[in-house]
Amino acid sequence: MHIAYLSLGSNINNPLEQIKIALKEIDNIPKINLLNISSLYKTPPIGPKQPDFINAAIKINTSLSAHDLLTKMQEIEQAHHRKREIHWGPRTLDIDIILFNKEQISTERLTVPHPFMQERAFVLVPLLEIEPMLETPQHGSLQEILNKLPERHEIQIIA
């Protein structure tokens, strides 16, 4: 079994409901066991002008490979009508694999640890809620990384 951490985000088409439904869909996938779910957070967007996001993080164990997990998460995104039209633009649902075991993966389809996680308080805050001592193979302690990010104060728990 593998341990993976995923980040979920949505900022259009009822974002709160998008995240709640996606969590149920992930939990219903055979070969995935949902171990922990963070609170839901309201976070300011990065990129073009757009609505705030709702973000969450989850910890799972799975017998799926990292690439098979990515495929399953992209299927859920597509079921939520995810469009990839504007880089860092609005989205119905975004599910990223942040960490997969302690592996470093770099392929055309997948980079793990997520290449921007150390720059994203909206990823780090929910992750640290569910795993306070979490460290990455490349960046070390997530708490130390988060302490350096000024936007960490702009993130609010909503549920």
User: Do residues 3 and 88 make contact, with C-beta atoms less than 8 angstroms apart?
Assistant: no
Q: Determine whether 52 is an active site residue.
A: no
Taking alpha carbons only, the member of 88, 145, 95, 89 closest to residue 121 is 145
User: Do residues 149 and 139 make contact, with C-beta atoms less than 8 angstroms apart?
Assistant: no
Residue of 96, 109, 120, 152 marked active site? 96
- How high is the pLDDT of residue 86? 56
H helices, E strands: number in the chain: 4, 10
CATH class entry, domain 2-157: alpha beta
Residue of 84, 94, 120, 152 marked active site? 94
What is the three-class DSSP state of 96? Answer: strand
pLDDT in tens, the chain (159 residues): 999 999 999 998 899 999 999 999 999 999 999 999 999 999 988 877 889 999 999 999 999 999 999 999 999 999 987 665 655 567 889 999 999 998 888 999 998 888 788 888 899 999 999 999 988 877 778 888 888 887 666 778 887
Q: Determine whether 68 is an active site residue.
A: no
Q: Determine whether 91 is an active site residue.
A: yes
The secondary structure of 5-31 as a DSSP string is EEEEEE-SSSHHHHHHHHHHHHHTSTT
Residue of 27, 91, 109, 152 marked active site? 91
Residues constituting the chain: 159
**What are the residue ranges of helices labelled H in the chain?**
15-27, 66-79, 121-130, 142-147
Q: Determine whether 96 is an active site residue.
A: yes
Amino acid found at 57:
A
User: Do residues 91 and 15 make contact, with C-beta atoms less than 8 angstroms apart?
Assistant: no
- How high is the pLDDT of residue 118? 82
What is the three-class DSSP state of 138? Answer: coil
Give the domain ranges of the chain. Answer: 2-157
